[in-house]
Structure 1
Amino acid sequence: MNYLARRLMTFPLVMLGVSILVFVSIRLVPGDAITAMLGTEAGLLTPDQRAALEAYFGIDQGWFTQYWRWLAGAVQGDLGVSVTFGKPVLDVILERFPLTLELALLSMVIALAIGLPAGIFAATRNEKPSDLAVRIFAMIGQSTPNFVFALLAIYVLSVGFGVLPAMGEFTPFLENPLRNLGQMILPALTLGFAFAAAVTRISRSAMLDILSDDYIRTARAKGVPARKVIWRHALPNALIPVVTLSGVEFGYLLGGAVIVEQIFALPGLGRMVLDAILQRDYALVQGSVLFIALNFMIVNLLVDLAYAMLDPRIRLGAK
């Protein structure tokens, strides 16, 4: 409990640092929000109209005043109003986040379902042809850019065989689960492929280390079945680095897979942040980055807590 309390106490400090960094960074980008929003029509505004718009979106004051006003609102759950959407930033984020969360979860399931068994299989057949084949798969997966795999998947599975839809208007899961999964499987495969390759390499390496330990040799000498040695004795310890990798990767996925969301025209969090930067939507960028940072910290905290569950020898600062 002391460890958990200390970790939670660091959250406000990290969020404060992130908020300052993103606040300054987005304002260093050339251009202004009103011009980006209205385009050529911005030149038709009178000075009073421009001033009214700047006041409405909270960009009519100096940087320090803007930041203080935004921070005071953020503490109360008010992240400002989006210039692009004309409504509260938090509402916009919560509309887009379910899609990104679903994409991250599907990608994680695919990666672990492929990578973990492949890594264990390769470790138990070390230096054999099957092990070499798995290692080649892992190298190909990690060296193939997401956009290349996405285009290949679209061409083969959608254009070539017509098995899955490539594009189209997004359908929420609750509205039509089957249609939604049909639209999400290609993006999830694209993200999960590279992640599966990383899981394969990490799990294989960890399993090889565990299988060479004394307690594993002792279990084998006592006649414990090979399957039991692998799945009951070796796997729990080999999972720790996999959990670490999964937590970090899941945090990045919650940040939004911008390229994949762009290719498949998915209205997710990553694509929204990219559009917000291009539109100089200060409030939306600030709120989104803050939201992503909070999710990342929560995921990492859960990963640390999972260590103690996987290995009772680990103590997370009980004193």
Structure 2
Amino acid sequence: MTTQIRADTAGLSGASRPAAENPSGTGEHARRRTRSRTAVRLLGRRILVMVPTVLLVSLGVFAVAAASPFDPLTAHLGDNYQSATQAQRDAVTQAYGLDDHWFAAWWKWWVAVFQGDLGWSSTMRQPVAELIGQRLPFSLGMSLAAFISAAVVAIALGAVVGMRRGGILDRACTTLAAMLAATPPFVVSLVLVSMFAVGLGWLPTSGARRPGDDYSVDGLLTHAVLPYLALTISMIPWLLLTMRSAVVDAAASDAVRGARARGVGGWTLLRGHIVPVSVLPTLALLGTRLPELIAGAAIVETVFGWPGLAEALVDSAVALDFSLLAPLAVGSAVLVLIGSALSDAAAVSIDPRIGLRA
């Protein structure tokens, strides 16, 4: 999908006029309505593009599965594979349609999905719909909390260090961000476990509850601290560096120099002239970093034994559990497409100088 970005010179010139030329604010209100309508149209177009994209992604999942050198019958039979007779193997193959052509299997899967049947997970030994319903809140809560926290910290800290370019705080933050950007999430997870779980003994090492206990709010919060920190820390570096770079560029622009010449400074300058422009690259990056969030969540959940969908995605891929792998892969693709569309729509709504067309 190609996104074209064009400068809206009329909106830019209008935004630079003194407020006295438009005391009623009618022109600004009209421009906001126009930007809102543009954002809505953009979302509508992206939804239309999303349909064939999701179909192609699902088709690719089944095609790659067919090319896999692993035998799915081994995953279905598990420990009973060696002791199973040929008749039992043939029965399992026929029952799960393992001998179907991958395109026929893809078509049957979509037909079943539209009928409300997501199939049976051979890995988890339960219906896929039931499995997703049980694990989705764990993944959604963890990922959403880490996503929001990373965005808030990166935008706020990036704005501060960008305004103090070359200072001690700027050098310390950029150096640490560069180091963390080169560190895989599983290394961050292991360091946190070594420090706070093994070394200090403050937090549990894995799971979402103590063995034998039911799920509780206190237990979930206690067990979620380390995976939440690992996922948040892994997402902050690129967002922080992007926001810092955008603030540095905005602070050196002619518009900000003119504001400084008019006596505008401090928090008013940052809030009114620098942040609205600088936050746009970060918003765009948020949409494109969703695959990193999904991959990081899969690694973090596996390391910490968090009972989410990301861990199930890894297990289903390893065990060739395509009934579970297909909906998780398609769901991940939908999440990425929605995130990209929302970030672009937010950019259109915030900055009058930008127009995006899908």
TM-score (norm 2): 0.81
What amino acid is the match of 1:149? V
Change (3 A) 1:109 1:12: closer
Helix, strand or coil at the partner of 2:203: coil
Larger deviation, residues 209-218 vs 176-185: 176-185
Shift of 1:255: 5.6
Helix, strand or coil at the partner of 1:44: coil
Distance of 2:291 and 2:99 partners within structure 1: 35
Distance of 2:226 and 2:243 partners within structure 1: 25
1:84 paired residue number: 123
Change (3 A) 1:76 1:10: farther
2:164 paired residue number: 125
Does the CA contact (< 8 Å) of 2:207 and 2:307 recur in 1? no
Distance of 1:225 and 1:115 partners within structure 2: 22
Larger radius of gyration: 2
Shift of 1:4: 2.8
Distance of 1:102 and 1:122 partners within structure 2: 30
2:243 paired residue number: 203
Shift of 1:251: 4.5
Change (3 A) 1:142 1:308: same
Shift of 1:18: 0.6
Change (3 A) 1:10 1:241: same
Larger deviation, residues 90-99 vs 18-27: 90-99
Which of residues 213, 224, 228 is equivalent to 2:268? 228
What amino acid is the match of 1:235? V
1:257 paired residue number: 297
Helix, strand or coil at the partner of 2:144: helix
Distance of 1:164 and 1:252 partners within structure 2: 26
2:5 paired residue number: none
TM-score (norm 1): 0.90
* Cα deviation code 1:235-261 (max 9, x no counterpart): 011111111222222354246622211
* Cα deviation code 1:169-201 (max 9, x no counterpart): 448xx9522321221121121121132121221
Does the CA contact (< 8 Å) of 1:19 and 1:290 recur in 2? yes
How many residues are paired up? 316
Helix, strand or coil at the partner of 1:166: coil
Does the CA contact (< 8 Å) of 1:277 and 1:285 recur in 2? yes
1:288 paired residue number: 328
Q: How much identity, in percent, do the aligned residues show?
A: 32
Change (3 A) 1:74 1:125: same
Does the CA contact (< 8 Å) of 2:188 and 2:234 recur in 1? no
What amino acid is the match of 2:202? V
Does the CA contact (< 8 Å) of 1:158 and 1:164 recur in 2? yes
Higher relative contact order, structure no. (Cα contacts within 8 Å, ≥ 6 residues apart): 2
2:137 paired residue number: 98
Consecutive unaligned residues of structure 1, counting only runs of 5 or more, are: none
Distance of 2:347 and 2:148 partners within structure 1: 20
What amino acid is the match of 1:192? T
Shift of 1:40: 4.3
Consecutive unaligned residues of structure 2, counting only runs of 5 or more, are: 1-39
